[in-house]
A and B are shown apart, each in its own frame.
Chain A
Amino acid sequence: MGMPITHIMTSGMSGIRAAGDLVARMQFARNMRLKDAKEYVAKKLGVSTMDLSDEYVMRELREELGIGVVTSVAGSPKGIAAKMNIEKLLDIKINCCEKFRGKLK
């Protein structure tokens, strides 16, 4: 356990504490290298690339955008609801959201 935590603390983007999940999505969804993925996400969020790892900037912004926050806020989008908002924000399709929509009558 200590090793992955050390990597996250040393080099990671803090996942949904900040915007690490969004940058990772662009690397996988569009084969973007790190610089391009950060610039793409920063532009969509209207922040600087440095802000993407800044919990102070991202905490409220994530809640405003409904893309999921790390603390459990009652009534805020979580899981697939948050990911549907991420789809719109990043202009990508997410497989489980597609499957979810396909099940609606």
Chain B
Amino acid sequence: MTEYALRMGDGKRIFLTREQIRADLEAGTADAADLGSIPALTGNELDKLAEILMMPARMVGVEPGKEVPVTHDIGTIRLDGDQGNSGVGIPTSRLAGCMIHERAMGADTMELGHIDYSFKPVKPVIAQEQQAMEVCQQNMIVPLFYGAMPNMGLYYTPDGPFENPGDLMKAFKIAEAQASMEHAADHLTRDMIWIMQKLMFAGADGVNFDTTGAAGDGDMFATLRAVESLRKQYPDMYIEVGMAGELVLGMHGELQYDNTTLAGLWPHQQAPLVAKAGANVFGPVVNTNTSKSSAWNLARAVTFVKAAVKASPIPCHVNMGMGVGGIPMFETPTIDAVSRASKAMVEIAGVDGI
């Protein structure tokens, strides 16, 4: 019986028969449909997905004419950064890094980011970031964002001024934990607005809020309020909101935006809120299960993202880094798995970009 080379969610090569692949595809889409109360992929879509996964070539590509813009997060850290950011340790300036992405790699957009890639540490070095943005904008042609993570966890002890909600909850101080999250969210919103005011002054095209919701619903709450404020101040600013995970974790549990409780939202429910706040592009995330096959993970991710694309009033650029969007959770994801996931998201989920 013919077997096809696929990957596990951790990247390891496995061999599955056509029937095993089909069974995993059906189970993956059913899992997403059940969790999100969204439609499962149709039989034809599962056939197409199976065809992509079983293509014999090492690398596959979208059909000509179906290409999409590819936006980038992490800035130039993937060049000059360390392993912690999956960087390859090439000592380049950030200007050179941006230009390499534009002219050597063919990136459709690029972004500038601080080495920590969180908003909070940018505050003490804002003038440096403004200078770097000015120099990059003078030389770049593709849209150049400022990218950073809201990363609300940096506002809690021992890194920040507010008592750690995890410690408070362990002591059953639930109301105090919620209050701490609300205070942190206020400061995070204020900081993100201030930082982006400075960078818009320096000529930035806009901002990429990367890994929104990483610290739970408070993190997303703070980000949506920052988006709303920035949109009012800068009607032409480019704003992208990319998520941290498929589900908004209810660390607080009762925070609302536009009368919608943020905790427990799935990608197709996140997209309209992000658009309502004023973003131009939404980046849905679906997490990879390392114990399942790439067939299971990709069917599940495509199901969630297809629903988000349909529900979203703005373009969707799906997040497809290590461990999300059907990509294996591995530091150097294999080309066969990445190209198949990339093609499936474009041709089946119908994403506007990656």
- Interface 9-mer from B55-63, B285-293, B300-308: B55-63
Contacts of A31 in B (CB 8 A): 280, 313-315
8 A Cβ contacts from A28-47 to B: 28-29, 31-34, 37
In the assembly, what is the distance between CA of A67 and CA of B141, in Å? 8
Are the C-beta atoms of A16 and B342 separated by less than 8 Å?
no
Contacts of A16 in B (CB 8 A): 102-103, 106, 141-142
Sample of 12 further A-B pairs with CB below 8 A, known A11-B343, A28-B206:
A3-B322, A4-B78, A6-B342, A13-B67, A15-B142, A24-B353, A29-B280, A32-B315, A50-B65, A95-B204, A96-B204, A96-B205
Min CB–CB distance B60 → chain A (angstroms): 7
Question: Which A positions have Cβ atoms within 8 angstroms of B?
Answer: 1-17, 20-21, 23-25, 27-29, 31-34, 37, 49-50, 52-53, 67-68, 70, 78-80, 82-83, 86, 92-96, 99-100
Contacts of B240 in A (CB 8 A): 28
In the assembly, what is the distance between CA of A70 and CA of B100, in Å? 11
Q: Contacts A2-B335, A27-B353, A83-B141 given: A17-B106 contact, CB under 8 Å?
A: yes
Contacts of A96 in B (CB 8 A): 137-138, 203-205
In the assembly, what is the distance between CA of A16 and CA of B343, in Å? 21
In the assembly, what is the distance between CA of A93 and CA of B238, in Å? 11
Inter-chain contact total with CB atoms closer than 8 Å: 181
In the assembly, what is the distance between CA of A13 and CA of B352, in Å? 12
Are the C-beta atoms of A25 and B143 separated by less than 8 Å?
yes
Are the C-beta atoms of B108 and A20 separated by less than 8 Å?
yes
With an 8 A cutoff between CB atoms, is B200 at the interface? yes
Q: Is chain B's interface secondary structure helix, strand, loop, or mixed overall?
A: loop
Are the C-beta atoms of A70 and B343 separated by less than 8 Å?
no
A-B contact pairs, 14 of them (CB 8 A): A2-B333, A6-B59, A10-B61, A11-B66, A11-B68, A12-B69, A12-B70, A12-B354, A13-B67, A13-B70, A28-B239, A34-B315, A96-B138, A100-B203
Min CB–CB distance B90 → chain A (angstroms): 9
Q: Contacts A13-B70, A29-B236 given: A8-B339 contact, CB under 8 Å?
A: no
Min CB–CB distance A95 → chain B (angstroms): 6
In the assembly, what is the distance between CA of A20 and CA of B106, in Å? 8
Contacts of A10 in B (CB 8 A): 59-62, 338-339, 342-343
Contacts of A4 in B (CB 8 A): 70, 72, 78, 105, 107
In the assembly, what is the distance between CA of A49 and CA of B66, in Å? 9
Min CB–CB distance A59 → chain B (angstroms): 13
Contacts of B202 in A (CB 8 A): 99
Question: Which of these, B66, B79, B137, B320, contacts A7 with CB under 8 Å?
Answer: B320
Contacts of B294 in A (CB 8 A): none
Are the C-beta atoms of B61 and A9 separated by less than 8 Å?
yes
Contacts of A95 in B (CB 8 A): 200, 203-206, 236-237
From A6, A49, A68, residue with most partner B Cβ within 10 Å: A6
With an 8 A cutoff between CB atoms, is B2 at the interface? no
Are the C-beta atoms of A34 and B68 separated by less than 8 Å?
yes
Contacts of B333 in A (CB 8 A): 2-3
Min CB–CB distance A83 → chain B (angstroms): 6
Are the C-beta atoms of B342 and A7 separated by less than 8 Å?
yes
Closest to A52 in B: B67
Contacts of B264 in A (CB 8 A): none
Contacts of B140 in A (CB 8 A): 79
With an 8 A cutoff between CB atoms, is B109 at the interface? yes
Q: Contacts A3-B338, A53-B64, A96-B205 given: A34-B352 contact, CB under 8 Å?
A: yes
